[in-house]
Amino acid sequence: MAESEQTPAIELRGVAKDFRGVPAVRGIDVAIAPGEFFSLLGPSGCGKTTTLRMIGGFEEPSAGEVLLRGRRVNGVPANRREVNTVFQSYALFPHMNVYDNVAFGLRRRRLPKKEIADRVGRMLETVDLAGLGRRRPAALSGGQQQRVALARALVNEPRALLLDEPLGALDLKLRQAMQVELKRIQREVGITFVYVTHDQGEALTMSDRLAVMNAGRIEQAGPPREVYERPATRFAAGFIGTSNLLAGEVAEVRGGRAVISYGPAGRVLAPLRPGLPAGPAERLELTVRPEKIEIGRDRPDDALCALRGTVSEVVYLGTSTTYTISTAAGPDMVVFVQNAASADDVAARGDTVWLSWDPRHSYAIGAST
């Protein structure tokens, strides 16, 4: 296949992987564009690392094809693929200084000394390690060691960089700072990044697109905002951020929206996804994010989505307060209220309140089971 600007940097076609008859990855189809920051997000055991290892050549698919720039690479060993991998452990050579660690791959390719020096120097500047070339890894912080591992992988100018939870060993504050740094570095070098993580914050912060994986399958793939605001499945809704899951019987369908009535306790309108059957009397499940909901003592006159409930818990978090409310719509609902307008709680435990939100923010995700 001839390479073109439209050719994906990485493409998986029906890729599956079994270990002794136990499926780890179940028929994945995905195309990753050149220069894209793409994240595989999911819980432990969902198949994301196995998928990354198949792209890198460390595992062979049981079925399907792996393509790099349109070329099938099944059976091609890892050292002959135009990708590099950064692992959580960094795997730096402790007896070498920073410069020699970064230059290692270039020296194995027997490049001229001047070219090696130029490329290593530029890469150390890119990862903010200029002037630290003579230090040994043991004299560096965790964040600096992670940058050395990045520089060592990127200096070889791979077509794609694969990252397997590289920030997992860092503390929270450093991990958050490195998320911003990783995205900056990726933009500067312009290389395709495929990033594996179980941390939703990392995926939302850095990704151009992300894929939510569960039990070896991709549940949903798309830009972070789309996946967060319009989850396609119950799992995606619950794994990305906090989400309220409501269930009820459809009273009517009006203008592409399902209307669910709870009698005196309120009603909810939810836009329907194309292809989702939801006729009158059918059970439907929908989701709404906690920060989209307003809480008050009275039902707003113009509220199209409104539910009455009882406050069961109030948790003050400084910048916001989290309210847990029991309603007739199913499990307890969670509401996040920013503490910008008042220092006082809008409600206390045991209070009867009304929850309201714009119908655009409730989203039907499937039939209720």
Mean predicted confidence (pLDDT) in 207-218 = 96
Q: Average the pLDDT over each of 49-63, 238-252, 334-348 and give the range with the smallest value.
A: 334-348
Distances from the Cα of 184 to the Cαs of 206, 225, 359, in angstroms? 9, 19, 37
Q: Does residue 2 have a pLDDT over 50?
A: no
Three-class SS of residue 257?
Answer: strand
Residue 112 phi, psi (nearest 5): -60, 145
Alpha helices in the chain (DSSP H): 48-56, 98-108, 113-126, 142-154, 172-189, 200-206, 224-229, 234-239
Return residue ranges of the chain for CATH 2.40.50.140.
244-367
The CATH superfamily holding the domain 244-367 is: Nucleic acid-binding proteins (2.40.50.140)
pLDDT tens-digit readout, 166-212: 887 778 888 888 888 889 889 988 999 999 999 998 999 999 999 99
* Angstrom distance (rounded) from CA 250 to CA 254: 11
pTM across the whole model: 0.87
pLDDT tens-digit readout, 291-335: 999 999 999 988 899 999 999 999 998 889 999 999 988 889 999
Of 276 and 341, the one with more pLDDT: 276
* Angstrom distance (rounded) from CA 94 to CA 44: 30
pLDDT tens-digit readout, 113-170: 999 999 999 999 988 899 899 999 999 988 889 889 889 999 988 999 999 988 877 7
CATH of domain 10-237: 3.40.50.300
User: How many residues are listed for the chain in this entry?
Assistant: 369
* DSSP letters for 38-51: EEEE--TTSSHHHH
Beta bridge mates, 315: 322
Mean predicted confidence (pLDDT) in 11-25 = 95
Q: Is the distance from CB of 27 to CB of 14 less than 8 angstroms?
A: yes
Q: Using CA of residue 190, residue 193, residue 197, residue 200, what is the dihedral sign?
A: positive
Return residue ranges of the chain for CATH 3.40.50.300.
10-237
pLDDT of residue 358: 94
Q: Does residue 250 have a pLDDT over 80?
A: yes
